[in-house]
Amino acid sequence: MSETTTTTNGASTGAAGAADGTGAGAATGATIELENLTKRYPGSPNPAVDEVNMEIKAGELVIFVGPSGCGKSTTLKMINRLIEPTSGRIRIGGEDVTDMDPVKLRRKVGYAIQSSGLFPHMTVAQNIALVPKMVGWSKSRIKSRVEEMLDLVGLDPGEFRGRYPRQLSGGQQQRVGVARALAADPPVLLMDEPFGAVDPITRDHLQDELIRLQHELHKTIVFVTHDFDEAIKLGDRIAVLRERSHIAQFDTPEAILTNPADDFVSGFVGAGAALKRLNLTRVRDVEVRDYPTVTVDDPLQDIFNKLRSGNTNEILLLDKRGRPYKWLRRGDLMRARGSLARAGTLVHDTVTRDATLRDALEAVLTDNAGRVAVTGRRGAYEGVVDMETLMNSVHELLEADRLDAVEHQHELQEQRAEHTHREQEGADATGEERA
């Protein structure tokens, strides 16, 4: 039993050295370094992937995004050597894996693909147990690990353990696919358009789940997609790739949205970058204002007084549990002849502090007075966000991003200048061919 528990509470163990941990304790990610990674197919003049250099930090979720055929999938598959690179090196957790046995390498690198890739002739439990079995875990440890993984991806083990993949919905299959990829606790997880084949609502759920998972596990995840919105939602950093996997820009979503490196990137970001930026900020990051409130239990006279004396036209009426109930205007109570039940307009929509600014804007735009109540635990009132706050916050955000980006650009240019300088100096040393 003791060995089964170590797998669950290993979250605090070291980061980069975790690459060789085939199982217990290695809950954190490992770094991935790609050095001059190139793939050339025989018979085509141009390489499919051309000299990719990239450093991915431990515990980072990096997205490869780009048009179809840009080599993003090829690049991903070279990391676990499903496609053997023609030249270049791959290092995981500092260890050069370019020449190691690919079968051993792949057991340390989780792999999840589009339409789940579950084996239809095996049950959910058998599918998840595959890798732990191959690396030689004990039966009891595998059994408890399967339960743990199903729990982790939000499926009830008792209900789903014995099912076959075809008895699951697309979203459930995808969850099991992720559970299988993570079963042997690999430090690195590769995901090749994993949510490409599910409907938009399920995809949204799965994305949220992945964010939650990553919060718990801190794996190093490389995720390939052609959907830029997905990239923004999930990525710590995004690599926008153009043909032959050339990196057009490799940066945080904020930086790419506010300061695309070139026309290709801005074309890919598409219209509405400012709107997309709203997805990256949460309500808790902006100023939530106080608003005069009364509760349904207050005497009518108090409510009258508050309405008359307050500097706003309206007050927010809260129900018995402190949840926003109705907006009351000055004349409302008079018209309703003093009955709280008939007066005012019901609160349709509230947002939590975790909601994105985009959600908040949506709610503010639909509200006829241009404001939305923010709620906390159990829907209790916490404050109000209105149009003005939103506009100001967005302006500030964009301005800050722009400053960051300019500074960043500066740094990059310096780095690049230094790099070219070094390359010119040492052209003979680095120019040699590595087969």
Partner 1 sequence: MNFWDYLGSRHQQLLTDAFQHASAVFQCMVVATVIGVVIGVVAYRSEWAGSLATTTTSTILTIPSLAMIGLLIPIVGLGVAPTVIALTLYGLLPIVRNSIVGLRGVDPSLVDAAKGIGMSRTARLFRVELPLAWPPILTGIRVATQMLMGIAAIAAYASGPGLGNEIFRGIASLGSKNALNQVLAGTLGIIVLALLFDAAYVLIGRLTIPRGIRV
C-alpha separations of 156 from 150, 159, 211, 254 in Å = 7, 5, 20, 37
Min separation Cβ 192 and partner 1, Å? 9
For partner 1, the closer of residues 150 and 256 by Cβ is 150
C-alpha separations of 309 from 222, 312, 406 in Å = 57, 9, 48
Looking at residues 139 to 158 of the shown chain, list those that interact with partner 1 (rule: CB under 8 A): none
Binding range to partner 1, per CB under 8 A, among 87-95, 159-167, 210-218, 394-402: 159-167
**Considering only CA atoms, which of 177, 209, 216, 174 is closest in space to residue 10?**
216
Number of residues located near partner 1, criterion CB under 8 A: 29
What span, in angstroms and rounded, lies between the C-alpha atoms of 414 and 435? 32
**Considering only CA atoms, which of 192, 392, 188 is closest in space to residue 288?**
392
What span, in angstroms and rounded, lies between the C-alpha atoms of 229 and 219? 22
For partner 1, the closer of residues 112 and 343 by Cβ is 112
Binding range to partner 1, per CB under 8 A, among 89-97, 126-134, 306-314, 355-363: 126-134
Q: Return the H-helix or E-strand segment holding 39.
A: strand 32-39
E strand intervals along 40-100: 49-56, 61-65, 87-92, 95-96
Min separation Cβ 70 and partner 1, Å? 19
Q: Which of 4, 49, 90, 107 binds partner 1 (CB under 8 A)?
A: 107
Min separation Cβ 261 and partner 1, Å? 32
For partner 1, the closer of residues 124 and 269 by Cβ is 124
For partner 1, the closer of residues 106 and 242 by Cβ is 106
Min separation Cβ 104 and partner 1, Å? 7
Min separation Cβ 183 and partner 1, Å? 9
User: In degrees rounded to 5, what are phi and psi of residue 26?
Assistant: -85, 65
- DSSP secondary structure code for residue 289 in this structure: B
What span, in angstroms and rounded, lies between the C-alpha atoms of 435 and 246? 20
What span, in angstroms and rounded, lies between the C-alpha atoms of 147 and 141? 10
* Nearby residues of 320 by Cβ (< 8 Å), 6 or more positions away: 295, 296, 297
What span, in angstroms and rounded, lies between the C-alpha atoms of 132 and 3? 14
**Considering only CA atoms, which of 184, 186, 180, 183 is closest in space to residue 194?**
180
Task: Report how far Cα 423 is from the mean position of its chain's Cα atoms.
Answer: 36
Min separation Cβ 132 and partner 1, Å? 11
Residue 78 is which amino acid?
A: M
* Nearby residues of 391 by Cβ (< 8 Å), 6 or more positions away: none
Min separation Cβ 224 and partner 1, Å? 13
For partner 1, the closer of residues 121 and 308 by Cβ is 121
For partner 1, the closer of residues 166 and 378 by Cβ is 166
Binding range to partner 1, per CB under 8 A, among 107-115, 235-243, 374-382, 408-416: 107-115
Site string for partner 1, 164-183 (x = CB under 8 A): xxx-------------xx--
For partner 1, the closer of residues 62 and 118 by Cβ is 118
What span, in angstroms and rounded, lies between the C-alpha atoms of 39 and 154? 38
Q: Which of 134, 300, 369, 403 binds partner 1 (CB under 8 A)?
A: 134
Min separation Cβ 324 and partner 1, Å? 48
Edge-to-edge strand ranges of the sheet holding 188-192? 109-113, 188-192, 220-225, 61-65, 237-242, 246-251
Q: Which of 43, 45, 120, 158 binds partner 1 (CB under 8 A)?
A: 120
**Structural Rg of the chain based on CA atoms:** 27
Binding range to partner 1, per CB under 8 A, among 42-50, 118-126, 143-151, 323-331: 118-126
Min separation Cβ 105 and partner 1, Å? 8
Q: Which of 106, 218, 219, 237 binds partner 1 (CB under 8 A)?
A: 106
Q: Is 130 in the site for partner 1 (CB under 8 A)?
A: yes
Looking at residues 58 to 97 of the shown chain, list those that interact with partner 1 (rule: CB under 8 A): 80, 82
Contact between 248 and 242 under an 8 Å Cβ cutoff? The reply is yes
Min separation Cβ 361 and partner 1, Å? 40
For partner 1, the closer of residues 126 and 356 by Cβ is 126
3-class DSSP assignment, residue 325? strand
Min separation Cβ 167 and partner 1, Å? 8
C-alpha separations of 219 from 15, 77, 129, 190, 275 in Å = 9, 18, 20, 10, 29
Binding range to partner 1, per CB under 8 A, among 58-66, 100-108, 321-329, 394-402: 100-108
Which spans of this chain sit near partner 1 (rule: CB under 8 A)?
80, 82, 103-108, 110-111, 113-115, 117-123, 130-131, 134, 164-166, 180-181, 190
